[in-house]
Structure 1
């Protein structure tokens, strides 16, 4: 009979919850989160995040999954403890805030020194080795995730690859890495997934370089679009001609207001910070290109609105009467998402606000008549359309067809 492992997953965001469900198909999994409402939803077989596969598996599959806010009561029985807590980028220190990861490790080691700890949170290059030295343990490994928002479980069921970083001189940890890679493959639908076991520092670098390359693709096609828009050329025709080259490929090429979301902004900045004292031109240019794209988009929006600086001090009623408001259609990063953390349209919105221009926002996930960064939320679409001189949409929605002439978007393919 196959061994059933006891697995704890700390954090129930996209990474942690999708990992919990994947492993709970065959093993005993307890998910830990500090938010009681998320724990209650999971225990009721409901998802606290928007992801079709997560919702389906939670409601329909017979999973060995429970959730709790009390990790201390369960750490002692765990064979594997997966850490999937947030590591946001701190622009002041120029590195990820890894305090949540260290807090979990410190607490786990009080109750269990033998469990294997797997970091799934994105961390700086060299961080896992630093932790091993700091906590005087050899039981930590790093396994990067390669997941898309809203498709996190799907990407675990059909993984592009499995990468696990360990001390390659430690035979015991290499054996543990092989077991963990089997657990991930066991829960997947895709067969014959490529598995790479490497040094933990190399695995950390893989994560940051992979996401920075994706950011580079976004920045490249956005700059192509900027050129075409200024020169009056057809962006779509150029992109199609370029992407028919099989070495380039027809993916990740839809123009936008810039890269954003959970990973790309913070990972590119962290990689650039890791380049201190290392010669580079390209990585820094990717970060700057994202800022330049947003600046350009803002100028195009203001020009389309016919906005003049002497209008910026008029009161709200006068702005409404003269139809000088710019409407932001959805704050979300991707179509059908419920998340708008670090979405590119927010960078555009804030730049417009800094010009003194009045903004209203259509965002159904927020309460109508509330505010977001000082701008009013108006969730009556008819009213929103009427009030907006220009409607800004990072991703186009056919509900805007009747006012298409005043929509500013660079969404050519109507996909993420």
Structure 2
């Protein structure tokens, strides 16, 4: 089976690599010539555990290749996945200009039947626009070739994307014809051998499913953060509350962790886009407005805790930061809570020394304030007045606390992910603050 994937960002590269790993012949296309040259040389544009190995293996076997010319590979393709970016527009809606540009190229060069699959996260109704763009492009070039469109939203978790693709809990596909359904079923059949299922539905429902899923998860996060802040006021412990409500099978225990808010490429953008869709159709999504408001406020919760202890003027104070990416196992800095936190620290006069296992280079592109990036987590602690844990990387879970205390000027720990034990740290002489636990000193 021959597949074209247009776009070599996070979704496109994972999709192309994983499809090639089960035997499909995949060509990944991108207009960024330097990115393609790097991929041809085995240099990946993103960090994702396990991805580099799959790309190298399948490139060496000739099943996975990279190019910049969509026309050269489209002629024999059974399916063409559109996986380009849909950046957030000024009004919060998803910008479809890149998706439509690809659709127009497909209309210009398609010579035989293929299924055009929107893998990018697109608002409800976008597949209609893709279909219209392809047809209009064909008409301009005096051509008429049969094709189908399909919607196949991705549900990949950064840091676990390979496992999510290879062993999906569900595959959602929106189609308009039996012929398109058969092609999509053939593509995903290798991933269904262990009983994972395809959920076929109409295209608008598939497009909505992606947004509704991310909005629901974002809602759970903001709900728990709001409850956590109330727990602090009332003297309750959000960790115990989480255990209590998570044991209810109607609720479940996923996405119930309090922290410093969500970030990344999906939740912030998709929540805003869904809100904008509601507004455009006269149905404002009031709940999501609150979800977003809570999240933006939560990003600075650790900064506010620090100011209550050290004062609002942090001039002369050195703050160590552990973790920069929006979550562990990725270098993704998009909408990361660390950005807002560090900007606030520097504006208040603090000197910031930060360490992240993989995201420091990427952080420099997102944080426009002076930050010293250190070679390891302990170097960041030298003469620090406080340590702020912002991302729960595994290597931060069991540090040498004696060494930590010896390095710091003041033994103050602010844990934005609730991974440490308060009693243990306080017994060693630390002042410890976390999220959602009342009666903190």
TM-score (norm 2): 0.80
Matched with 2:6 is 10
Match of 1:75 in 2: 74
Partner secondary structure for residue 74 of structure 1: helix
Aligned partner of 1:177 in structure 2 is: 181
Partners of 1:96 and 1:368 lie apart in 2 by 23
Q: CA deviation at 1:189?
A: 6.3
Report the equivalent of 1:290.
295
Change (3 A) 1:210 1:368: closer
CA contact (8 A) 1:158 1:190 kept: no
What is the Cα-based RMSD across aligned positions, in Å? 2.7
Q: What corresponds to 1:154 in structure 2?
A: 163
Alignment deviations for residues 248-287 of structure 1 (CA, whole Å, 9 cap, x no partner): 2222222221011110000011111111111543121111
Q: Which residue of 1 aligns with 2:325?
A: 332
2:354 is aligned to 361
Tell me if 1:221 matches 2:224. yes
Whether 2:309 is the aligned partner of 1:299: answer no
How far apart are the structure 1 equivalents of 2:225 and 2:165?
A: 29
Task: For structure 2, list consecutive stretches of 5 or more residues without a partner in the other structure.
Answer: 137-146, 406-410, 421-441
Provide the residue aligned with 1:104 in structure 2.
Answer: 102
Moved beyond 6 Å, runs of 4+: 368-371
**Residue in 1 that maps onto 2:426:** none
- The answer as to whether partners of 1:366 and 1:377 remain within 8 angstroms in 2 is no
The reply on whether 1:379 has 2:377 as its aligned counterpart is no
Shift of residue 28 of structure 1? 1.3
Counterpart position of 1:260: 263
Within the alignment, does 1:212 sit opposite 2:209 as a pair?
A: no
Paired position in structure 2 for 1:166: 175
Post-superposition offset of 1:370: 7.0
Q: Distance in 2 between matches of 1:366 and 1:216?
A: 29
Provide the C-alpha distance between the structure 1 equivalents of 2:400 and 2:4, rounded to a whole number of angstroms.
45
Which residue in the other structure is 1:133 paired with?
132
TM-score (norm 1): 0.85
Work out which of the residue numbers 197, 201, 206 in structure 1 matches 2:200. Answer: 197
Query: By how many angstroms is 1:27 displaced?
Result: 1.9
CA contact (8 A) 1:261 1:343 kept: yes
Greater shift after overlay, 116-125 or 333-342? 333-342
- The partner residue of 1:412 within 387, 412, 418 is 418
The CA deviation at 1:123 is: 0.9
Secondary structure of the 1:118 match is strand
Measured in 2, the distance between the counterparts of 1:159 and 1:190 equals 11
Shift of 1:8: 0.7
One of 39, 47, 71 as aligned partner of 2:36? 39
Distance in 2 between residues matched to 1:96 and 1:77, nearest whole Å: 31
> In the superposition, relative to structure 1, how do residues 370 and 84 fare at CA in structure 2: closer, same or farther (>3 Å)?
closer
Question: Would the aligned equivalents of 1:118 and 1:141 in 2 still touch at CA under 8 Å?
Answer: yes
Q: How many residues align?
A: 391
